[in-house]
A = this chain, B = another copy of it.
Amino acid sequence: MKDKLMLMIPGPTPVPESVLSALGRHPMGHRSADFSKIMAQVLTDLKWLHQTTNDVLVLTASGTGTMEASIVNFLSPGDRVLVCCNGKFAERWADMCDAFGLAAERISAPWGKALDPEAVRAALEADTTKQIKAVIITHSETSTGVINDLESISRHIKAHGTALSVVDAVTSLGAASVPIDEWELDVVASASQKGYMMPPGLGFVSVSAKAWDAYKVAKLPKFYLDLGKYRAEAIQNTTPFTPAINLVFGLQVALEMMKQEGLEAIFARHHRHKIATRAAIRALGLSLYAQDDAVASPAITAVVTAPVEAEKLRSYLRQRFDIALAGGQDELEGKIVRIGHLGFVCDRDILTAISALEAVLPELGHTAFTPGAGVSAACKVLTAS
């Protein structure tokens, strides 16, 4: 049905009406006092969301742009970096390191499993001559629905002493707690179309004092993504290059909504949606790709749809109920569907998605569950919390 699309993919995520209205305002000059006032508010609120006193800078770019900014500003050609790999987006980090001539060493875990912080510790402890300049960790792996133990990994990086932590928080920021100051995270990248309740187009990078020290000696070339330029302008509540002004209007409203809800409530909501979804999927007789509840992302649930064909399920849900789920990527193509439950998602949305799943699964040949079991399992979680 036209205009009835329900997005339950891990980005873009649904956007509140008040944010959409703000997007449609007439632009103003980005060098005006009025715009600086908005930027001042946005920059303050971003620090609140990032739980940090570090700089949080706003780029006009998608998540990959912020990933690149997290590399080119702090590293030099040939630098040795550890890339923690257990999914497609971690692989993208490794590819990017290769593209910039870094010596990227992969520490891998199977897709669907969490990284072993001990493996990171071992690699860092073996580096007695301090050659490792950075450790790149994807916090919530969007391709598999796994969340890695960032707190422990960051502790091992701190013990190493010189390596920077470079964190992909693209699908965790705004969905899971990323306490930058408490965990002493150096560089944290995220993007607007995930936990921010915003459309895509803006990216964010948080930078610690230690990372700024690395910036001073980093030799990779940069200009548009040169964070030093963004820092210099952020002090005056502006940006070095024309920002996506209308997206900033929307961001201001979205951050205000997030403040109203409060960080603890936001994280509790995402956690509740994760466990409700997982309980429902199990009750429907399907498998979870990330089997261990403890390492499941609060932002995305990946579902192994066998015996039903994943793409058939996805297209049928889209066609019959106007619900968009994401498919599997790379080696997971055709094997899983991914339910995004991050950002502007409420309890009702979880019930809706599960009940639609219940409706279509038998039609696609999967009947090995008690009718009503999925919704009932989700209800139990949602009403208990």
Contact present for B200 and A60 (CB under 8 Å): yes
Q: Is A99 an interface residue (CB 8 A)?
A: yes
In Å, the complex CA distance between A14 and B27 comes to: 7
Q: Is A129 an interface residue (CB 8 A)?
A: no
Residue-wise, chain A 78-100 has the 8 Å CB interface mask toward B (1 for contact) of: 00000000000000000110011
Q: Is A221 an interface residue (CB 8 A)?
A: yes
Contact present for B64 and A62 (CB under 8 Å): no
Q: Is A174 an interface residue (CB 8 A)?
A: no
Q: Is A257 an interface residue (CB 8 A)?
A: no
Shortest beta-carbon distance, A286 to chain B, in Å?
A: 22
In Å, the complex CA distance between A25 and B2 comes to: 12
**Residues 258-313 of A at the B interface (beta carbon under 8 Å):** none
Residues from chain B with a CB closer than 8 A to the CB of A95 are 223
Report A's interface with B, CB cutoff 8 A: 3, 5, 7, 9, 11-15, 20-21, 23-32, 60-65, 67-68, 95-96, 99-101, 191, 193, 199-201, 220-226, 240-247, 324, 326
Top 6 A-B pairs ranked by shortest CB distance? Answer: A201-B244, A24-B24, A12-B27, A64-B241, A199-B246, A20-B24
A–B pairs, 6, beta carbons within 8 Å: A5-B28, A9-B29, A20-B25, A201-B246, A201-B247, A247-B247
